[in-house]
Amino acid sequence: MEDLEYVVEQHEEDLKKYRNSSVLVSGATGFVGKMLVKTFLLGNRKKNLGIHVIAAIRDQKKAEREFNLLLKEADLELYVGDITEPIDYKGNVDYIFHTASVTTSKTMIEKPVETLNISCEGTKNILELARKKQTKGIVYLSSMEVYGTPDPLLERVTEKELGYVDLTSARSCYPEGKRLCECLCAAYSSEYKLPVRIARLAQTFGAGVSGEDNRVYAQFARSAIHGEDIVLHTAGTSEGNYCYIRDVVAALLLLGTCGSDGEAYNVVNEESHMQIREMAMLVADQVAQGRIKTRIEIPETDCGYAPSVKMHLSGEKLRKLGWKPQIGMRETYERMIADMIAE
């Protein structure tokens, strides 16, 4: 709630641009999606913005658990459907935030066809909806994984410098799917003049992460909470790029109405760049105050982790629009852990 209130108060001018509009958020029960939905709804309560939020979801029971009493309010509407099917929404849609995507490596490895289908067909259906509704702004959530393995000699990786992706690997269904979706966004922008911007998110986490999340940052946090050593299943040399959820939400609100159509923007806190093992040591030494240690135990079977890369993303392009991340890595963990404990 602190994060939501901060965004509403400190980014009020960005939120006001959505006043009296209809905003559709796909993947609305996912981490980023639900934070966007709750930010708009809190903006209505605090600033009387009159925003109608359409939460596009697949699992109605999950949405009912996530939004609970908010579903009784007139400014929140559920649209239940499979995003791989055409979206048959009858009302107006002024803005779209397309956050729906497969996000777990295990699923990418086990179901690469379905992962690609959700990504590509889902994005095409969203763009078709935007075209038919003459939507004023669309933000597509892409990923830093589109960069693949970039040139290791680059000091900073900008939006123009894509690297190598191994097309024979099933795990590549995710980054290559994101690349294709970005191409679709650019194509719709060019041919149909759709005002779509692409947000290439760094690893995003913080308060609000689901207790069921099994990605590395959540595992590190649970290790700190339970006083258990952090066990790495790789050498931990891959360089990570990160951003706190509150800063990401602020960036997405900005991109909904600002930026160049058809273009991509890195959403990253450059100060939080570090290797996986460095992050593990930060959690063990600073967040857990030395009560736990970091160990490396590499399994023989493929766990579906993304390839190890040396990459330091540049956030300069987005910062030129006026965005500035606020929360560093240690505070990210402290806020996330406090939220996990409170649950």
Place of tokens 């066990």: 231
- pTM metric for this prediction: 0.94
Query: Which tens digit of pLDDT belongs to each residue from 264-295?
Result: 999 999 999 999 999 999 999 999 999 999 99
CATH number for the region 2-205+241-271+311-327 comes to 3.40.50.720
DSSP string, 182-225: HHHHHHHHHHH---EEEEEE-EEESTT--TT--SHHHHHHHHHH
Measured over the CA atoms of residue 86, residue 90, residue 92 and residue 98, the dihedral's sign is: negative
C-beta separation of 31 from 146 below 8 A: no
Query: Which tens digit of pLDDT belongs to each residue from 187-218?
Result: 999 999 999 999 999 999 999 998 778 888 99
Map out the domains of the chain as residue ranges. Answer: 2-205+241-271+311-327
Identify the three-state secondary structure at position 79.
strand
53, 6, 31: which is closest to 214 by C-alpha?
A: 31
Query: Which tens digit of pLDDT belongs to each residue from 137-174?
Result: 999 999 999 999 999 889 999 999 999 999 999 999 99
Residue 94: alpha-carbon gap to chain centroid: 21
* Furthest C-alpha separation in the chain: 57
Query: Which tens digit of pLDDT belongs to each residue from 44-86?
Result: 999 999 999 999 999 999 999 999 988 999 999 999 999 999 9
